[in-house]
Amino acid sequence: MRYKIALAVFLLFWGIMIVRLYHVSIKSNFYYQKLAKENIERKQFIKPVRGEIMDTHGNLLAMNQIGFSISIEPHLKAQSAMLESVVDTLVASFPDLNKTVMMKVYEKNNSPYNHKFIKVVDFIHYPDMMGAYPKLSLMPQIQIEAETKRYYPYGKYCSHIVGYTGRSNEKENKEDPVVNEVGKVGKSGLEKYYNDVLQGELGHEVTKVTATNQAIDILEKEDPKDNKNLKLNIDINLQKMIHEEFADKTGVAIVMRTNGEVLAAVSYPSYDPNLFVGGISSKDWRALQEDLAHPFTNKFIHGTYPPGSTIKMGMALAFSKAKKGILDTNEFCSGHIKLGTSNHKFRCWSTWGHGSVDLRKAIRESCDVYFYNKSLKVGIDAMAKYLRSFGLGVPTGVDLPDEYAGVIPDKAWKMKRYKQPWYLGETVIASIGQGYDLVTPLQLVRHTNLIATSNLVTPHMVKQIDNKELNASISPVSFNPYYLSEIRKGMYDVCNTRKGTGFSAMGSLPVIVAGKTGTSQVTSIPQAAAKRLKEEELAYFHRSHAWITTYAPYEGPQYIVTVLVEHGGHGGSAAGPIAADIYRWLYKNGYFKNQE
């Protein structure tokens, strides 16, 4: 037994000795070899210049201001006379600088192992530096380097599209070596989605240095790859015009070519992205967060709303695919329906009803009962299946980050979400875009384009990346041509006949427009209410959202225009005039081909 213990102690001792010997003679050798090399060679990364973003006419939407950063040499003792003198000189040259902050930044990054100058001032504008440069450049303790700062000339007009850059955090620095060196990263919008393109690639320079870290020879140099610009489909002049249309409203307006090119996308109210470039103040951030109109929310991809009657075209086509011949028969509308023995009334918007209703009339006069009855013959699962294939309740694939999917519900969805079964009444209200139905405005644009062209497109903001054209993504969808024609005729009627809900706004335009209005309720109507209150009589946040979604020209569609006015009441009266002004602007500015 003693022999075994002695042997174990002997083996343990020599095991420790061998491990220690390996660490000292081999592993540490790599470390000290690397350290020695760093003492004779210095590798400095060269930061690329971030690419710029411009609209379709070349107007700069995101640009770089030229300026300088200031760094102080390392290894100065904290609170020493030399460090104090250097920092005092900087404050004397630029009175807006904060001495306490600069001292803290320097002390945090100063270390015996750090041989790089420590940046204490991120950005000084070019004109401000010119007067101080001769004096500061003579001080060996100070290093002045060219720097750029992001600037958004059009501010609030396209902030939800372009987005903004901000200081990178520790996680972002670890994930991307370029971000780690630059210290800035796209935080939202195109700045975030295309960050890898815009930020470019690092260059570097390897120099031989003396023991005092003075460069004596350049051993290797590679220039950065930068200025990878984005050119958008967006027309900033159209964007500004639409923005002004929403001066006393909140909501969304989107203009898209039928190939998916987005010409304008306004989410109102908006915010100034320049607030975020150098770090937003707590006061400004609190103001954005507490604003009930949600200016920071990108409503065209992050706002989800009941689509209301604007879903009816797609719903009719879903019926046709789910059950052959279902659209060939009329439905009789008396103003409401009941299910089984229940006394609950599912009401049409028309108290008196619409009488006998065919497909075209159902779209033109937006008869709810027509869709109630058809939905009961088809069922929610089939409705949901086809609506999703038409682009509703699924992301559009637009080139913006974190797009929301919305909801087109079915039985499985409700069971998973609420652990409850599906009821027939929920099928009925889903058929007119209410209940659990939620879509983004951009989904509705894409859906309207499908009705107009039979093509499911992927919306895209960017036209060119680094001067290379982007290819449009277009997927044809087959429909019964007769049904599709009748639906389009119904949409024509909405905007061009006196019974159409959009006629007052859209009936006298220089181009022929087809469309559909929608009034999506945000509160339920009590069964005891014989007659619902007018929208203007309701409290603001109880008023319905007002939709209109359109395409033009009616023959040979070129553009989709969709407008949502939050709590606006009726689509035709609240959203229609904005859509009409957009078409007038497009016509006036030569957007319609072959116009007289």
Mean pLDDT confidence for 415-430: 95
- List pLDDT tens digits, range 134-155: 898 888 889 988 888 899 999 9
105 token code pair? 């930044």
Q: With contact defined as beta carbons under 8 Å apart, do 430 and 318 qualify?
A: no
pLDDT band at 23 (very low <50, low <70, confident <90, very high): low
The H or E element that residue 30 is part of is: helix 28-40
What's the rounded Cα separation, in Å, for the pair 99 and 227?
34
591 token code pair? 């957007």
pLDDT score, position 33: 53
Beta pairing partners, 264? 255
Residue at 494: amino acid letter: V
Packed helices 312-322 and 380-389: angle between N→C axes, nearest 10 degrees: 110
3-class DSSP assignment, residue 421: coil
What are residue 484's phi and psi, to 5 degrees? Answer: -60, -40
Mean pLDDT check: name the lowest of 393-397, 454-458, 484-488, 538-542: 538-542
What's the rounded Cα separation, in Å, for the pair 178 and 230?
19
Beta pairing partners, 203? 46
* Nearest one of 478, 253, 497, 524 to 363, comparing CA atoms: 497
- Does 95 score more than 50 pLDDT? yes
Please report, for residues 13, 14, 30, the alpha-carbon distance to residue 18 in angstroms, rounded to integers and kept in the order given.
9, 6, 18
Q: Where are the beta strands (DSSP E) in 380-507?
A: 455-457, 462-465, 468-469, 474-476
- Does 84 score more than 70 pLDDT? yes
Q: With contact defined as beta carbons under 8 Å apart, do 150 and 105 qualify?
A: no
Query: 20 in the Ramachandran plot: left (φ > 0), alpha (ψ -120 to 50) or beta?
Result: alpha
| Whole-number average pLDDT of the chain | 88
What's the rounded Cα separation, in Å, for the pair 552 and 238?
17
- Cα distance between the two ends of the chain: 109
Mean pLDDT check: name the lowest of 91-100, 227-236, 280-289: 280-289
Mean pLDDT check: name the lowest of 290-294, 360-364, 523-527: 523-527
What structural domains does the chain harbor?
Answer: 65-149 (3.30.1390), 236-285+292-588 (3.40.710.10)
- List pLDDT tens digits, range 247-277: 889 999 999 999 999 999 999 999 999 988 8
Residue 540 vs residue 278, higher pLDDT: 278
Q: With contact defined as beta carbons under 8 Å apart, do 383 and 430 qualify?
A: yes
How far from chain centre, in Å, is Cα 344? Answer: 42
Q: With contact defined as beta carbons under 8 Å apart, do 221 and 568 qualify?
A: no
User: What is the four-CA torsion angle of 76, 78, 81, 85, rounded to 10 degrees?
Assistant: 80
